[in-house]
Amino acid sequence: MDTATTSSSTAAPQPVDEIRTRRMVLRPIRKDDAHDFFSLRSRPEVMYYTLSEPDTELRQTETWLAERLAQPDYWSFAIELLPSTDQGPIRASVPSHGSQDSINSDPAVVAAVAAAAAPSPPRSPTTKRPVIGILGIPRQNQIGYLLQPAFWGHGLATEALRAFMPRFFAHVAGSYEHAVAFTLPGNGASRKVLEKVGFRLVKEEGSGRDGNVEFHLERKDWEEKESPVMVMGDA
Ligand SMILES: CC(C)(COP(=O)(O)OP(=O)(O)OC[C@H]1O[C@@H](n2cnc3c(N)ncnc32)[C@H](O)[C@@H]1OP(=O)(O)O)[C@@H](O)C(=O)NCCC(=O)NCCS
């Protein structure tokens, strides 16, 4: 499925600490993210669009995470929500198409919703921010992202992806000339996110879960469209 255009140069990936947006911090995934990611990857309404089955046991998520951590070239970031005082309020909500019972009974989501909705107490530097999603490059130049349903519809995926793209093009400098994202024809939210960030539709075939929609963002289009974005860790 990967249709990378390569040039002769193969620059080594550059290390990244974290990417800060107005409302979020994207930082490299860690082994201790397993519980938060299980909370995400066990949700049918999230995994439906990934073509993977939901994880039913924590050890499945741990195995997935270990494989990701063993691929240093393929970046994956945990999306952490900044405290509400830093970002303006986010009214975390349960989407109508989600399973309210499963969401409300999930301690990780309950904690994340509470953290987003409640006035923020003074925070120490060690306070753990709620992890609300994942964004990264699962393979080659392909970009993917998942967000907790309680946080859908607030522009967070768009904000995260927009902040990630300068890093993507820096990371693959001299290698890939475009980013690729695949989604399903019926995934209106993801399609909209990609369009808002500047991806163009290049292929659409089939329907339902058998369908495939391919979006590209060309490096030159990105460079023409976007002025440089300052992100933490930039030299
Ligand atoms: C895709 C996903 C990350 C979007 O997250 P999000 O934070 O809600 O996205 P945003 O709020 O930034 O943008 C969503 C946009 O889609 C729109 N939208 C939502 N549902 C839609 C639908 N069914 N049809 C068309 N547009 C839709 C929203 O109105 C919004 O557009 P707007 O800002 O112009 O109003 C989230 O829905 C998710 O995790 N889905 C499950 C996993 C997934 O599909 N991952 C992508 C695989 S390619």
Q: Reply yes or no on whether the pLDDT at 67 is more than 50.
A: yes
Give the start-to-end residue ranges of the domains of the chain.
19-225
| Amino acid 101: pLDDT | 44
**Whether this model's pTM surpasses 0.75:** yes
Q: What is the pLDDT confidence band of residue 227, given thresholds at 50, 70 and 90?
A: low
The greatest distance separating any two alpha carbons of the chain, rounded to the nearest whole angstrom, comes to 52
With b meaning 16 or more CB within 10 Å and e meaning fewer, what string describes 176-202? bbbbbbbbbbebebbbebbeebbbeee
Distance (Å) from CA 153 to ligand 1 centroid: 6
- Best residue among 139, 191, 192 to mutate for probing ligand 1, ranked by most atoms within 8 Å of CB: 192
Radius of gyration of the chain (CA): 17
Distance (Å) from CA 155 to ligand 1 centroid: 8
Which residue would you say has higher pLDDT here, 231 or 114? 114
Nearest atom in ligand 1 to the alpha carbon of residue 184 is 48
Which residue would you say has higher pLDDT here, 29 or 100? 29
Which residue would you say has higher pLDDT here, 95 or 9? 95
Which residue is closest in CA terms to ligand 1's atom 22? 188
| Amino acid 140: pLDDT | 82
Nearest atom in ligand 1 to the alpha carbon of residue 158 is 12
**Residues across the chain:** 235
- How far apart are alpha carbons 186 and 173 in whole angstroms? 32
Segment of 14-18, 172-176, 196-200 carrying the highest mean pLDDT: 196-200
Distance (Å) from CA 167 to ligand 1 centroid: 22
Q: What is the 3-class SS of 61-118, one letter each residue? A: HHHHHHHHHCCCCCCEEEEEECCHHHHCCCCCCCCCCCCHHHHHCCHHHHHHHHHHHC
Any idea of the CA torsion for 95, 193, 58, 98, to the nearest 10 degrees?
Answer: 10
- How far apart are alpha carbons 30 and 19 in whole angstroms? 15
Q: Reply yes or no on whether the pLDDT at 105 is more than 60.
A: no
| Amino acid 102: pLDDT | 45
Q: Reply yes or no on whether the pLDDT at 148 is more than 90.
A: yes
- How far apart are alpha carbons 92 and 74 in whole angstroms? 30
Distance (Å) from CA 146 to ligand 1 centroid: 10
Q: Reply yes or no on whether the pLDDT at 228 is more than 60.
A: no
Residue range 180-193: mean pLDDT, rounded: 96
**19-225 is classed in which CATH architecture?**
3-Layer(aba) Sandwich (3.40)
Site residues for ligand 1, CB cut-off 6 Å: 46, 49-50, 144-147, 152-158, 181, 183, 187-190, 192-193
Residue range 218-227: mean pLDDT, rounded: 83
- Best residue among 43, 193, 196, 217 to mutate for probing ligand 1, ranked by most atoms within 8 Å of CB: 193
pLDDT in tens, 5-51: 333 344 445 556 799 999 999 999 999 999 999 999 999 999 999 88
| Amino acid 90: pLDDT | 67
- How far apart are alpha carbons 130 and 29 in whole angstroms? 13
Residue range 100-123: mean pLDDT, rounded: 56
Residue range 107-131: mean pLDDT, rounded: 64
Distance (Å) from CA 54 to ligand 1 centroid: 19
Distance (Å) from CA 154 to ligand 1 centroid: 9
Structure tokens at 193: 């996110």
Which residue is closest in CA terms to ligand 1's atom 20? 189
Q: Please work out, in degrees rounded to the nearest 5, the angle formed at the alpha carbon of residue 163 by the alpha carbons of 93 and 135.
A: 60
Which residue would you say has higher pLDDT here, 106 or 24? 24
Q: Reply yes or no on whether the pLDDT at 1 is more than 80.
A: no
Q: Please report, for residues 50, 78, 166, 179, the alpha-carbon distance to residue 139 in angstroms, rounded to integers and kept in the order given.
A: 14, 17, 18, 11
Q: Tell me what the pLDDT averaged over the chain comes to.
A: 80
| Amino acid 175: pLDDT | 73
